[in-house]
Amino acid sequence: MTAQPSRLPAPVEIDLDDKGRLTQPGSGAPVPAGRVAEHLSRRLAVPRWATDIHVYVHGWQTAPSSATRTAMRLLRQSVELYEAAPDRYPGLKEGYRPWCVVVRWPSSSLPTLKGYRRIRDRAHAMSAEGTGHAPFVLGHLLGYLDTERTDPTGPAVLANQNGQFLHLVGHSFGGRFLCEAVQRAAEQPPVLGWSTPHDPRRPFTVDSTLIFQMAAPRDAFVRHFGALFPRDGHPGAPLRGPLVLTHSRWDRATGFWHLRAEKAPGIGHSGAGAAPVPQFTTRLLPTHEVYEQTTLDHHVVNVDADWLYRGSRRTRLHPAGAHSDFLRPESAHLLLTLAERSR
C-alpha cells in the first residue's frame, strides 16, 4: 500500500488593496499605518514545526481564491515528491514541513494594452514608499527569523533556531512584485533592519527565489532590480540563494503581448537577457532527474521549460498561451530542490 502524503496546513492569506495597503480579513478595510506591525505580528506567527516558509505572489488576472489554490497545489506536489522519494533530496534528511503565506493583490483588468500596463505599474506600486506594505510583509518574516536566530555570527543563511528557511515564489507580474518588495525590504530601517544592520556578519538574505514566467523586460535586472545582487563596494545582497526564472517560447503573454506593451519580449518567453551578475542557463528536469549543484549555484539561473510549458489545445488558442502552464510536478521538483540546496 502506498503511504498517504502528509496533510498540508492551510496557508495564511495576506491581502493588499490597489494602493498596496494591508487589509483586514473579512471587512477589506485598510490596516491603519500605525498598526501594520501589530497586524503582521498577529497574522504571521510562524509555527515552530515549520522547516520552510514559502511566500507565494500571483500574477495578472488572478482571483484571490485561485492564487491560494495555485500555491497549495505547488506545495502539495512538493510534499508528495519528497515523501515518495526522500533519498532524491538528501539535504532534507531532517524533514520537509512547509508553511505557506499567499500574498494576494488586485491584479485584474481588461485584457487590453491599457489594462496590462495598469497592472504592471500596480505590481511595482505595492511597494511604493509611503503606501505600499508589501516590503513590510517580507520584513516581518525576516525580522522574526532575526530575533529567533540563536547564533547571529553563524553561517550567512536565513535560518532560525528551528531551522526555518525563507523561499519566495512568484508567477508573471508576481515576480515584479517580489523583486520590488525585496529591494525595498532590504533598505535601511524602518522598513527592515537587522539589529546591527551594518554588520557584514548578518546580511539580509532570502534563501531562494523562483519566478515562473516573469512578466518583465529581459533587461529588468539592469533597469529595475540591480540592487538585488552584489555590487562593487556593496558585497552584501538581499538574495543569498539563486534567482531562478523559467521561460517558454509557448508563453504568448510574455511574448506577443509583452512585445506590444513593452516593445520587447519578456523574461517568461525568452529568459533574462541582461543582468549585473553572471547568468547560467539550464533545462527544466523531469522529477526523476536530480539537478547538479553546479547547475543551480548561480546568482541568476534561466530555466528553459519549452518542452513542458506548452499549454493545451485550448490554451494554445488563448491570448496568454502557456503563460500559466507551470502547475506541474516538474515545477514542484525545482521548488523542492531549491529548498533542499538552501541547507
Which range has the top average pLDDT, 107-116, 156-165, 199-208? 107-116
Residue 313 — pLDDT band, cuts 50, 70, 90?
low
Residue 317 — pLDDT band, cuts 50, 70, 90?
low
Task: Give this prediction's pTM.
Answer: 0.89
Q: What is the pLDDT of residues 146-176, one digit of tens each?
A: 554 434 344 444 444 445 788 999 999 999 9
> Using the 8-state DSSP alphabet, how is residue 292 labeled?
P
Please indicate whether residue 181 or residue 231 has the higher confidence score (pLDDT). Answer: 181
Which residues have a Cβ under 8 Å from the Cβ of 16 and sit 6 or more positions away? Answer: 22, 23, 103, 104, 105, 106, 126, 132, 133, 134
Reply yes or no on whether the pLDDT at 192 is more than 60: no
Q: What is the pLDDT of residue 152?
A: 39
> In one letter, which amino acid is 337?
T
The ranges assigned to domains in the chain are 12-341
Average pLDDT over residues 21-47: 91
Q: Which helix (H) or strand (E) holds 316?
A: helix 313-316
Q: Locate 236 and state its grid cell.
A: 552584501
Q: What is the pLDDT of residue 149?
A: 40
Cβ distance 225 to 219 under 8 Å? no
Q: What is the pLDDT of residue 241?
A: 85
Please indicate whether residue 256 or residue 242 has the higher confidence score (pLDDT). Answer: 242
Backbone φ, ψ for residue 184 (5° rounding): -70, -40
Query: Among the listed ranges 29-33, 191-195, 308-312, which one has the minimum average pLDDT value?
Result: 191-195
Query: C-alpha 258: how far from its chain's center?
Result: 21
**Cis bond leading into 265, ω under 30°?**
no
Q: What is the mean pLDDT of the chain?
A: 85
